[in-house]
Amino acid sequence: DAVVYWMRMQDMRILDNRALEGASKCARERGIPLLVVFLFSVGDYRAHDRSPRRVDFVLRNLNILKDSLAELHIPLHTFTVEKRKTVPNRIKDLMNEWDVKDLFINVEYEVDELRRDLKLLELSTAAGIRCSVYHDRCLVQPGQIKTKDGKMSSIYTPWMKQWSSAIQSHPDYFKEACAPVANDPSVHKHSMFGPLFHDSIPDAIPGFECEDADKMAELWPAGTDAALKKSANLGDTRIGQYEDQRVRLDMDSSSRLSPYLATGAICARQCVRAVMKKHSNDTFNASRGSGPGVWIQEIGWRDFYTHIMAAYPRVSMGRPYHEKYADVFWEEDVDGKILEAWKEGKTGYPIVDAAMRQCKTQGMFPAPWDSSPASFFMFIDDLILIGYMHNRARMIAAMFLTKDLMIDWRLGERHFMRSFLDGDLGSNNGGWQWCASTGTDPQPWFRIFNPYLQSEKADPQGDYIRHFVPELRKLDNKGMPAEFEKLGYPKPIVDHKFARDRAIRRFKNVGEE
Ligand code: FAD
C-alpha cells in the first residue's frame, strides 16, 4: 500500500506544491509510504509540439528531483507510454498493481489533459481509488474571476482589476507556502517500495533528442534552486526598472523565469510572494508607475491565458477565440517559402530577422565580432539567450508573420512551441492570438506594429540586431534597406505599407473576400 503523487511536466518541484503536500499529509496520516510517479507520454509530446529543448529540460529537472526526493526518503518511479490514449488505463493499472488507494494530481488545463484526467477519475472511482485534484498552476484558480452575469471575464483590464483585488483580499492565494514533505524512513520497513526504489532517468526520449543539450544546460541550469537564484537576481534594481525597460531587447530587462514557471520548477505563488515581501503590500495598488507592480501583472497575464484556456477549450484545439476570425483570408504560401524565410530570419526586416535567428540558433553563439563595447558587454554577460525569446521579440515576430506576411497564426504558434524551452500552450496561444487579433482582448486589427519603429524602441542602438544578424554588423544605426543587398542581406520580403493595408482590408472584410 502507498500514496501516489503523479507529477506532470508542469509541476516539477517539491517546494510549495499543493498535490504533493496533500499526498504527503495523507501518507503520514495513514502511516504508509508516499511515492512520486512521472510518466513520459511520447504521444502527447508529439501531438503538442513539445520541443526537444523542453523535453531535455524536463529530464534535467527530473534528475535533480530524483536526488532531492531521495533525501526525503521518497521514491520516484518513471515509465514511458507511447500511445497517449492509454495513459489513464496505465495509471489505473499501476495503482491496482501497487494496491494504491490514494492518488494526488495538480490540474492541467489543456483540453487533452483535462479529458485524460476525467477518464482517469472515472476509472479510478470504479476501481475504488480516491483521486484528489488540486489547483496549483495559477495564483487565482481558473473560474473564480467572473463578470456580473457569472461568465468568465475575458477582457484583460477588468479581469486584472479583479485578479489584483482577489489576491489582496485572499492572502491564502499565495502568502503561505505549502508544508514541507517527506517520508518517515520507518514507513519503508514493511513496504515493497524501499527508499532505493528510484528508476533511472533516460538521457533522452527517442524522437526528442536535443541537439544543443550541453549549451542549454549551461544557459538554463535545471531545478528549483536555479529558479530561485534567477528570481532573486531580479533584485531591487532590475525589478525597479522593469516598467521602463521591459520592452528593451538589448538589456537585461526581464526575469527569464518562463522556462522555470512552465515546468513548475518554481511556482507563481513563490515568485509573487518574494516580490511582495521585498516591495511591500501596496505593490498592486501602485501597478503603473511601479516596477514590481508591473512585473506582478505579467504573472497576471500568465494566469489570464490559463483561465481563458480552461474556460474556452477551443483555444487548445487550434481555433480562434473569436470564432468570426476563423474566416480570415490567410496567404496560401503554396511552396512554404514565405514561412521558411520568416523561420530562417531572412525577411529583410532586421529586427524580425534578429528575433527569428535567436529562435533558430542552435548550440552556440554567433562567431565573435568586432569588439564594440556594447557587443562585448552582451557577449560576456550571456545577456542574449537561446532557446528563448524576449516578449517584445516574440510580439514583433508574431505580428510580422500574421499581419505583414498574412500567414496563419497557427503555423507560427507551432514553430515557437517546437523551438523554445518555455513552450506553454496557454501563454503561447494567447500571445499568438493577441498578435493575430483573433484572440480574447485582441490587439485591434487596425493597429499593426511598424517593424522599424519597434526596432527604434526595443533596440535603439541596433545591438540586438548586430548580435544575431552578422551581415549587418558593419552597418550603423541608420542603415537603410537600399544598402542591404551589398552586404549579402535580403531585400525586404514585402513592402510594410502595402502589407499593412492588405491586412486591414482582409480583417475588415472577414467572410467577404
Ligand atoms: P518577465 O517579463 O520577467 O515576466 C515574468 C513572467 O510572467 C514570465 O516568466 C511569464 O511566466 C509571465 N509572462 C510575462 N509576459 C507574459 C505574457 N505576455 N503572457 C503570458 N505570460 C507572461 N510565455 C511562456 O511562458 N511560454 C510560451 O510559450 C510563450 N509564448 C509566447 C508567444 C507569443 C507570440 C508571445 C507574444 C508571448 C509568449 N509568451 C510565452 C509570453 C512571454 O513572451 C514570455 O512569458 C516572456 O517573454 C518570458 O520572459 P521572462 O520570464 O523574462 O518574462
Written as nine digits, the cell of 27 is 501518507
Kindly list the distances between the CA atom of residue 236 and the CA atoms of 232, 279, 291, 481, in Å, as whole numbers in the listed order.
Answer: 9, 8, 9, 41
pLDDT digits (tens, 9 = 90+) for 333-358: 999 999 999 999 999 999 999 999 98
Least confident range of 15-19, 181-185, 430-434? 181-185
DSSP secondary structure of 28-82: HHHT--EEEEEEEEHHHHHHTT--HHHHHHHHHHHHHHHHHHHHTT--EEEEEES
Residue nearest to atom 4 of ligand 1 (CA): 298
* Whether CATH 3.90.550.10 fits 323-508: no
- Candidates 259, 288, 309; CA nearest to 422 is 259
Q: How far apart are CA 386 and CA 210, in angstroms?
A: 13
- Candidates 217, 272, 234; CA nearest to 64 is 217
3-136 has which CATH code?
A: 3.40.50.620
Q: Is the dihedral of CA 162, 163, 168, 171 positive or negative?
A: positive
The bridge status of strand 130-134 relative to strand 3-7 is unpaired
Instruction: Give the domain ranges of the chain.
Output: 3-136, 138-175+222-311, 323-508
Same fold, 138-175+222-311 and 323-508: no
- Candidates 218, 278, 268, 198; CA nearest to 13 is 268
Is the Cβ–Cβ distance between 182 and 338 less than 8 Å?
Answer: no
Residue nearest to atom 35 of ligand 1 (CA): 431
Question: Residue 105 forms beta bridges with which residues?
Answer: 133
- Candidates 166, 139, 147; CA nearest to 311 is 147
Ligand 1 shell residues, CB under 6 Å: 246, 254-258, 261-262, 298-299, 301-302, 305, 390-391, 394-395, 398, 416, 420, 422-424, 427-428, 430-432, 435
Sheet of 76-81: strand order equals 76-81, 34-41, 3-7, 102-106, 130-134
Whether 373 has a pLDDT exceeding 70, the answer reads: no
Least confident range of 110-119, 386-395, 488-497, 502-511? 502-511
Question: How much is the pLDDT for 280?
Answer: 67
Burial (CB count within 10 angstroms: exposed 0-12, middle 13-18, buried 19+), residue 479: middle
pLDDT digits (tens, 9 = 90+) for 105-114: 999 999 999 9
279 — pLDDT class (breaks 50, 70, 90): confident
For the chain, percent helix, then strand, then coil, each to nearest 5? Answer: 50, 5, 40
376 — pLDDT class (breaks 50, 70, 90): very low
- Candidates 191, 198, 254; CA nearest to 62 is 198
Least confident range of 271-280, 367-376, 382-391, 401-410? 367-376
Least confident range of 44-53, 182-191, 268-277, 422-431? 182-191
Question: How much is the pLDDT for 478?
Answer: 57
**Which ligand 1 atom is the nearest neighbour of the CA of 305?**
20
When the pLDDT of each residue in the chain is averaged and rounded to a whole number, the result is 88
Stretch 364-368: mean pLDDT:
41
Question: How much is the pLDDT for 382?
Answer: 45
DSSP secondary structure of 347-400: SS-HHHHHHHHHHH--SSPPPP----HHHHHHHHTT-S-SS---HHHHHHHHHI
What ranges in 192-290 are assigned the alpha helix state H?
A: 213-219, 224-233, 236-240, 242-245, 258-263, 268-279, 283-286
Neighbours of 79 (CB within 10 A): 13
Whether 383 has a pLDDT exceeding 90, the answer reads: no
The bridge status of strand 76-81 relative to strand 102-106 is unpaired
* Residue 305 labeled ligand binder: yes
Q: How far apart are CA 245 and CA 13, in angstroms?
A: 31
Is the Cβ–Cβ distance between 127 and 31 less than 8 Å?
Answer: no
- pTM greater than 0.90: yes
Least confident range of 152-161, 254-263, 382-391, 471-480? 471-480
Question: How much is the pLDDT for 370?
Answer: 39
Stretch 361-367: mean pLDDT:
49
* Residue 242 labeled ligand binder: yes
Mutate to test the pocket of ligand 1, among 49, 390, 391, 399 (most ligand atoms within 8 A of CB): 391
Is the Cβ–Cβ distance between 53 and 216 less than 8 Å?
Answer: yes
Least confident range of 31-40, 140-149, 482-491? 482-491
285 — pLDDT class (breaks 50, 70, 90): low
Is the Cβ–Cβ distance between 492 and 351 less than 8 Å?
Answer: no
CA of 273 to the centre of ligand 1 (A): 19
Q: Which residue has the higher pLDDT, 427 or 234?
A: 427
Written as nine digits, the cell of 30 is 495513514
Backbone angles phi, psi at 71, to 5 degrees: -65, -25
**All residues at 6 or more sequence positions from 28 whose CB lies less than 8 Å from its CB, including other chains:** 184
Residue nearest to atom 11 of ligand 1 (CA): 258
98: number of CA atoms within 13 Å, CB side? 24
Q: What angle do CA 80, 81, 82 make, to 5 degrees?
A: 120
Q: How far apart are CA 186 and CA 31, in angstroms?
A: 9
Fold of 138-175+222-311: 1.25.40
Whether 187 has a pLDDT exceeding 80, the answer reads: yes
CA of 124 to the centre of ligand 1 (A): 36
Question: How much is the pLDDT for 374?
Answer: 43
Question: How much is the pLDDT for 457?
Answer: 94
Whether 185 has a pLDDT exceeding 70, the answer reads: yes
Q: What is the amino acid identity at position 426? A: G
User: What whole-number percentage of the chain has pLDDT above 70?
Assistant: 88
Question: How much is the pLDDT for 483?
Answer: 76
Residue nearest to atom 43 of ligand 1 (CA): 391
Using alpha carbons only, how large is the chain's radius of gyration in Å? 24
* Residue 102 labeled ligand binder: no
